[in-house]
Amino acid sequence: MMYPLTLGFGIVTVIIVVIGTNLLIREASHGVDQQLVRSFENEISTDLAREFDRFSADDSLQDINDLIVDGRMDGWYEHTSVDLGNSFFALYDMMGTPVWTNGSIRLIEEATSDHHHKAFDIALSGALISELRHNFQITDANGDPIIAEVVETHLPVFSNTDNEVIGVLETYVDIGDEYIVSVAEARSNILNPAVKIMTSITVLLITVVFVAEMLRKRAHGHRIEEERRRADADLQLIRAQAQVQELAIVEQERKRFLSVVSHELKTPLTSILAFADILTRHSDPLTERQIKHLNLVKRNGRRLDQLIGDLLDVSRIETGNFSLEFSDVPISDLFDDLTESLQGMFELKSQKLLVVNLASGRLVSADRSRIFQVISNILSNA
């Protein structure tokens, strides 16, 4: 699961939005219901009051019974019910006794409840009262009883002479179909914008969380990559340090080896050269062959001594202890020594060293042993 936070937040947000939308629609629908009820109540009560005032003002009205003579109420009801549809009407005197109705006695009995008595008393005080009643039984156009949503109205009836209340007109008008359609339209008008707004908010919140989680994952990936690079760099540094330490140890061992080897070789070589020189000068007369072999020993001994000296020079250079001792060196003597020292090597290689036009008595300022070493190395590599 690549984005668990976004998924979890999205599910929770959708649940909250759905619950919130339902609560919002319920509250808004309740308000719309109340507004529609007041609208129906006002419309019906106003129309009834206007129509009944016009009807009762035609002739002199002093008693409630004047409205029912010669079928006047029946005629007015037939005219009025055309616009009102299914309805139940009843006319009461001041004592609350029904003097006319368009329904059955059973409907009158159902209407005369405690609620009816309270509304009746209010109408007797001269005030019009109207309200919505749910699941109320009235008669349809065929006179059959039906259950409907009705607007109940108690209309005070005034005399034409002294404007006193002489009775109450009670009406129950069926508004079921119109009420259902109006409520559905009102709720739809609320639901559609609410769903759009909540959907937009949900998408916005989920998008914000998704972007935040994506940035967090990217930052986490960058952090891991940086840590990996840092770990690689640390590992490389450790390896480099280990290599440096290893090289330092190797270098230290090499220097120690050079120093030990040089000194260990120097000591027996010195003895060999000394005994060879003693044999040459102080022995009984030697044969030419013996003298040649001793000279070869001395030349190679000096050659080996020179190599050991080179090793010691390398050690001195590395430790910073290398130094030069300058003096005036006769060039002819220098090359005479070189010729004698390298003669055996040239003979073994079938080569010959020839020094020509060497100025006698010419001097050069140099470290004799070092200049001898340099020229000897050059000639040895020829």
CATH assignment at residue 75: 3.30.450.20
d(CA 202, CA 209): 11
CATH number for 354: 3.30.565.10
The answer to whether position 202 is within a domain reads: no
Residue 283 confidence (pLDDT): 59
Residue 106 confidence (pLDDT): 43
Of residues 47, 252, 37, 238, the one with CA closest to residue 133: 37
The answer to whether position 126 is within a domain reads: yes
Helix locations, 283-360, DSSP H: 288-319, 331-348
The answer to whether position 18 is within a domain reads: no
Residue 40 exposed, middle or buried by CB count within 10 Å (0-12, 13-18, 19+):
buried
The answer to whether position 229 is within a domain reads: no
Intervals of the chain under pLDDT 50? 105-109, 111
Query: Can you give the residue range of the structural domain that contains 142?
Result: 62-174
Of residues 95, 131, 128, 125, the one with CA closest to residue 112: 95
pLDDT tens-digit profile of 311-328?
Answer: 777 777 777 777 788 888
Last residue of a domain, one of 114, 149, 174: 174
Residue 237 confidence (pLDDT): 92
pLDDT tens-digit profile of 52-62?
Answer: 776 666 556 77
Domain count, the chain: 2
**Which own/partner pairs from 126-130 qualify as long-range (CB within 8 Å, at least 24 positions apart)?**
126/156, 126/158, 126/165, 127/156, 128/45, 128/49, 128/153, 128/154, 128/155, 128/156, 129/153, 129/154, 130/41, 130/42, 130/44, 130/45, 130/154
The answer to whether position 30 is within a domain reads: no
Q: For the whole prediction, is pTM greater than 0.85?
A: no
Last residue of a domain, one of 154, 174, 194: 174
Residues 174, 141 contacting (CB under 8 angstroms)? no
Last residue of a domain, one of 116, 139, 174: 174
The answer to whether position 353 is within a domain reads: yes
d(CA 87, CA 338): 148
DSSP codes joined into one string, 344-369: HHHHHTT------S--TT-EEEE-HH
Task: Decide: helix, strand or coil at residue 323.
Answer: coil
The answer to whether position 291 is within a domain reads: no
What are the phi and psi torsion angles at 320 (to 5°)? 80, 15
Residue 278 confidence (pLDDT): 78
The answer to whether position 83 is within a domain reads: yes
